Structure 1
Amino acid sequence: MPRRAAILMFLAVGLACGLTGGPAAAARIDTFPSPADSVQGLAARLQSAAPGDTLLLNPGTYRGSFTLRSGVSLIGIAGPDSTIIDAAGDRYCLFGRGIDSTTTIAGLTLQNGRRPHANSGGGGIYLHRSSPLIINNVFRDHLGYLGPGVYTNYDCRPVIAFNVFRDNEGYLGGAISAYQDCAPLVYNNLIFDNSAVSGGGILALNSCPVIYANTIVGNAASSGGGGIYCDSSPALIVENVLAYNRGESAVFQLDDDAPATFRGNQVWENEGGAAGGVCSDYVGTDGNIRRRPRFLDREGQHLLPEEEAQAGARLWRGDPLPEVPDSVLVLWRDWLRSHDAD
C-alpha cells in the first residue's frame, strides 16, 4: 500500500478517535475504485457505510452532489491536487445533516457548486446541525448566497483547518459563513481572492466562531468586511494575517452588543483600514500589529513584494497531513464555554 494511502487511513480513524476519546467500533476502510463507477455508486456507498467506516477516493473527478453520513469519513487518497468532487454548476458538492465530530472530510478539491438563491449556501459543503472535521481540502469556483465554500447553518461546531479557499463568490460571506448559533473553529486556512457583498472571506451572523492563524488576503466585499464581517457574533480573532483585502475594512462589525476579540493579528494595506462599522481599531492593542507579511512559496522562498497580492496558491505552504494542536482545541472549547456556545 502506498505510504500516503496508509497515512490517510490513519488520519481518518485516528483523528476521529482523538476528538471523541475512543476508538470507533468495527471500523472498516473501503476504497472507491474510480469516477467511472458512477455518481450513483459513490452515493450508494456513502449511505451503506456504517459509523466508523472510512471511504477512500482514488484520483479522478467525481461529478455530482453527495450526502454525507455521520461517522463515515471521506478522504482523497492522493490529496486535493488529483481528487476532485465537481458539482458541475448544480447545487453543492457535499451536504451534511446531523454529522458528528467522528466524520472527517480530507484531501479533496471541491469545485463548481451553485447555491445562489436567497438564504441558500454551501456550494462546497452545506452543514446543518453538524460538526465534522474538514481538513486539507481546496474549495474553489463556488457561487452561493451564504458561504459558497462552507456554509454552517444552525447549531454547527465543525473544525475547518488547513484548507484553501479561492475564487469563490457569495452574497453573505465569500468563503465561509457561520449562520445562526454556529461556532466553528476556523484554523490555519488560506482564504484568498474570494468576494461577497459582506464578508469577502468570512461572515458570522448570530454565531461564535474562533478564527485562528489564517491567512486572509486579497478578498473583496462591496459593503463591509473585505476579510471578516461579524453581526451579533462575539468572534475570537487570533494570530491571523489580514492583508490586501478590499471593502471598507479588513474586519467589519455591525453592532457593539457582541464585540469581537482581537489578539496578535498582523494587518497590512487593507482598503479602509483594519476596522469598520462599530469595530474599534484594534491595531496596537493585545499584540495586534501593522506589518507587511513575508509570504513564502512552496519551496520556502520569499515572494517579491509585487507578487504578494497576486500570489495565489503559492501562499499556501504546510504539512499535507497536519493536525490541529491540542492547545488550539482547548482554547476553542473554552471560548465556546465562556459564551454558552458549547
Structure 2
Amino acid sequence: MKSKLNILFITLFYNILNINSSKCQTVYYVDSSVPNNSSNGLSWINAKKDIQDAIKIANTGDEIWVKAGIYKPTETPYQTTDSPRNFTFYVKSGVSIYGGFSGTETLREQRDFVNNTTVLSGDIGLENYENDNCFHVILASASSGSSLGVKIDGFTIKGGYSNSGRYININGNDIFDYGGGIALYNGRNNISNNIIVGCSALMGGGLFMIRGQNTIFNNKIIDNKTFIDRNGSGGYGGGLYTQDCSSLINNNLFTNNLGAWGAAVSLYNGNNQMENNTIKENIASNSGGGIYIDNGVNNIKNNLISKNSAYNGAGLNLLGNTSTLLNKNILSENNASNLGGGIYTYSANLEIYNNLFVSNSALRGGGILSNATTSIINNTFVNNNASVVGGGLFMTYANFTLFNNIFWNNKINNQNNLFGADVYDYFYFSNSDIRSNLLQLSSENYNIGPNPKGNLFLLNPQFLNINDFLGPDNIFFTADDGLQIQTNSPAKNSGNITLLPTNLTTDITGSSRIQENIVDMGAYEFKNPCPTTLSIPTGEGNSGVFLASGYIQSSATVANPTIYSSSKAIILNPGFQVITNRNFTAIIEGCTN
C-alpha cells in the first residue's frame, strides 16, 4: 500500500508539473537544412534555419526544438554582425532549447540526443584555428535576482575560445572572458544531457556560472581548458567554474580538462552539491586536479575522483572559509607532485565520512594532507604512498578527530612498515583525538599512551579482495566491492558507536551504519547474509534493523527504535507490542543476497 500511494503521489505531482509547464507554451522548430528563416518556425515543415531566429520570437515558457546538424552563431547579443568573435547563441531568460531531434517528433520524449547529434559550434572562422572562434558558444545574462533562467539540453557544444581581454555589458552584467562553452549570469538555469568539449577561457573553459541557481545534470565535460593571461589572472575551472551560486552538479563526467586551479571543477563561495559524478584524468598545473574549493558550503557525495594530477591536492583542494562534507566518495590513483594526493586542505572546516582513499600518491600526504579542522570518521585508507611522510594521512597545525577508520598497507617510498607510513602528525598527535581506528603499525608509533582508546594495531583488516576494490561487477558501492570487511575481520563490531555524528547513518553503500547495535571500522559496514525468513521471539529490548528476503515473524516487545524490512510479508504474532513513545517501522522492501 505504501508503494502504491507513493507511485500515485508521484504520478499526480508529475501531471501537475506538466500542466503548469505546458500552459501557454509554444514550440519553435529549427532545421539547418531548410533554405532560410522565412517560415514561422511552428512546425518541422515550417522550421527556422537558425537557432537565434527562433530565440528572437520565443517568449517565457517557450521551447525550441533543434534537428540534428551543425549550427553556428550568426550575430552578437546586440543583434549586430560587425564583430564576429562576439557572435553567440544568446538565450533569453525563460526559454528552453532542446537538441537531438530527427525532424519528425511530436513529443519531446521521442527525441534521441545520443544518436541525433546536434552541434553548437564556435568555430566560425578558419576551421580548427581557435583564435578566430567565438568567445562564448552560448550566453545567458539574466537580471540580478531573476527567478527565470534558461535550459540547454541535448547538444554537443564546442569550439568556444574566450581570450580577448575585453568585456561587454548585457542586461546589467559585465561579460568577461569566462565560459568558452557556456556563460551563465544570474537566473535559474538547467544544463543537462550535453557534451561540452574543446572550449577554452580565462575561467570556466567549458562552463562558467555566477550568481544563479543552477542544475548541471548528466553532461560530459571533456577536453576543456583555462589559461592565465599576462597579468596573472584566470586559470580557474578548466571544465566548470561556479561563483556565488547555489548549484546541483550531479551525474556528470569530467575528464581530460586542464587548468591551473580546479582543472575539472572550481567552486568559489555559494552553496554547492556534487553527487554521482565521475571526475578523472584531469590535470591542474597548480592545485585541485579534480576539484578546487574556495569558501562556501559544499556537499560532495558519491563521486569517483580518480587519476587526477596537480601540484597540491590532486583529487581535491580546499581552502578559505569553507565548510565541506565529503561523504561516500572514492578517491583513487590521484597524484600530487607536492602535497595531498587525494586531498589537500588549508584553513577549511572539513568532514570526511565513509570514503575510500586508494592508491593516491604525493610527496607528503599520499591520501590526505590537512592543515585545517578536520573530522575523519569511518573511512578506509589503502595502498596510498608518500615519498617523504604520511602515506595515508599527514596532519599539520590543526585539530583532528580520527574515529573508526581503517589504515592498511599505506607506504613511504613503497615501504609499509616505516613510522608515518599510515598516519603522521606534525605535532606528534598532541592536537589529535584518535580513537577506535585500525592502524597498520604498532602502538608506539602514535603517541597514544598506555590506553589504546579502542585503537587496534598491526591487525590485517581481512578485506574481501584488497587487489580489486570494485569487485567482479566493476561497479562501485555494491555487494562485491573488494574493500568490504569479512566476517572474521578485527574491524567488525570494533568501532565506537558514541563517536558517530548524527548525520552519519549509513555506510558507503547506503546500508545502515548501525547493525547488531554496534558499528564497524572503515567505510563499509559488515552485513550478515540476508535470511529468507526471520523469526524474532518474545523478549524485551528488541531494537535495530531486521531484514529478510521473504518473511519476518515477530512476537517481540519493541523497546527501542526498530525497523522490520521484508520483501513479502511482516507477520506480527500475538504478544508483539511496541512500548509507548517508541518508534517502530515496517517496510515491504527486504533485501537480497
TM over 0.5: yes
Note the alpha carbon deviations across 1:45-102, whole angstroms, 9 max, x for none.
36563845662522545443211252121111xxxxxx411134555111111012xx
1:75 is matched with: 192
2:71 is matched with: 37
Amino acid corresponding to residue 91 of structure 2 in structure 1? R
Provide the identity percentage.
20
1:324 is matched with: none
Q: Is the 8 A contact 2:197 2:223 kept in 1?
A: yes
In 2, distance between residues paired with 1:144 and 1:267?
A: 28
Query: Cα distance, 1:35 vs. partner?
Result: 6.2
In 1, distance between residues paired with 2:246 and 2:313?
A: 22
Moved over 2 A (4+): 23-35, 37-43, 45-64, 87-91, 116-120, 279-283, 290-294, 298-305
Paired residue secondary structure (2:91): helix
Query: Cα distance, 1:37 vs. partner?
Result: 2.8
1:259 is matched with: 373
Query: Cα distance, 1:38 vs. partner?
Result: 2.9
Paired residue secondary structure (2:235): coil
Q: Is the 8 A contact 2:225 2:238 kept in 1?
A: yes
Change (3 A) 1:72 1:130: same
Q: Tell me if 1:115 matches 2:226.
A: yes
Q: Is the 8 A contact 1:245 1:270 kept in 2?
A: yes
Amino acid corresponding to residue 182 of structure 2 in structure 1? F
1:57 is matched with: 153
Q: Is the 8 A contact 2:384 2:392 kept in 1?
A: yes
Residues 223-302 of structure 1 aligned to structure 2 (within 5 Å): 223-247=338-362, 248=364, 249-253=366-370, 255=371, 258-272=372-386, 273-278=391-396, 285-290=402-407, 292=466, 294-296=469-471, 297-298=474-475
Max Rg structure? 2
The one of 287, 301, 305 equivalent to 1:187 is: 301
Q: Is the 8 A contact 1:32 1:56 kept in 2?
A: no
Note the alpha carbon deviations across 1:167-225, whole angstroms, 9 max, x for none.
1111111110111x222111111000001000010000112211111110000001111
In 2, distance between residues paired with 1:277 and 1:303?
A: 29
Q: Is the 8 A contact 2:93 2:150 kept in 1?
A: no
Note the alpha carbon deviations across 1:227-261, whole angstroms, 9 max, x for none.
000100111111111010010221001x3xx4211
In 1, distance between residues paired with 2:157 and 2:479?
A: 32
In 2, distance between residues paired with 1:150 and 1:223?
A: 20
Deviates more, 1:64-73 or 1:226-235: 64-73
1:213 is matched with: 328
In 2, distance between residues paired with 1:191 and 1:116?
A: 23
The one of 191, 206, 214 equivalent to 1:93 is: 206
Amino acid corresponding to residue 313 of structure 2 in structure 1? G
> Of Structure 1 and Structure 2, which has the larger fraction of its residues in strand?
2
1:4 is matched with: none
1:335 is matched with: none
Q: Is the 8 A contact 1:263 1:287 kept in 2?
A: yes
Change (3 A) 1:30 1:267: farther
Change (3 A) 1:32 1:39: farther
Query: Cα distance, 1:136 vs. partner?
Result: 0.4
Unaligned runs of 5+ in 1: 1-9, 18-22, 77-82, 306-326, 329-342
Amino acid corresponding to residue 38 of structure 1 in structure 2? K
Query: Cα distance, 1:120 vs. partner?
Result: 2.6
Q: Is the 8 A contact 2:319 2:345 kept in 1?
A: yes
In 1, distance between residues paired with 2:397 and 2:354?
A: 18
Note the alpha carbon deviations across 1:136-177, whole angstroms, 9 max, x for none.
000111111111111112x22111111011111111111101
Change (3 A) 1:51 1:268: same
The one of 171, 177, 200 equivalent to 2:292 is: 177
Paired residue secondary structure (1:183): strand
Q: Is the 8 A contact 2:354 2:378 kept in 1?
A: yes
Change (3 A) 1:259 1:39: farther
TM-score by length of 1: 0.70
In 1, distance between residues paired with 2:22 and 2:318?
A: 36
Aligned length: 276
The one of 179, 182, 186 equivalent to 1:66 is: 182
In 2, distance between residues paired with 1:25 and 1:188?
A: 34
Amino acid corresponding to residue 211 of structure 2 in structure 1? G
- If asked which structure has higher relative contact order (CA below 8 Å, sep 6+), I would say 1
Amino acid corresponding to residue 55 of structure 1 in structure 2? K
